[in-house]
Amino acid sequence: MAEYKVNLIWDPEASVWIATSDDIPGLVLESGSLDVLIERVRFAAPEMLELNGVVQKEYPVRFSLDRFERIAV
């Protein structure tokens, strides 16, 4: 069974988390909350995969998180 990678990236200019995936065509979501974004991906990923012709009983998703900040002292 394929594992689907979802990238979670913080956009400091917009103050939102963005979810994208090369493995799930069409998946692009954003939210100000990381927890809310992960929950949205849980619902959207199976729907997007099914729209792309992939039908499975479960969809293993690996979340990859990237957040960069400059911290001043």
Per-residue pLDDT tens over the stretch 20-31: 999 999 999 999
Cβ neighbours for 35, distance < 8 A, ≥ 6 positions apart: none
User: 28: domain CATH number?
Assistant: 3.30.2390.10
pTM: 0.87
**SS3 track for 22-33:** CCCCCCEEEECC
Q: How far apart are CA 68 and CA 73, in angstroms?
A: 16
Q: Does residue 71 sit within a domain?
A: no
Dihedral class, residue 26 (left if φ above 0, else alpha if ψ from -120 to 50, else beta): left
* Number of domains making up the chain: 1
Domain span at residue 17 reads 4-66
How large is the average pLDDT for residues 1-20? 94
In-domain check, residue 16 = yes
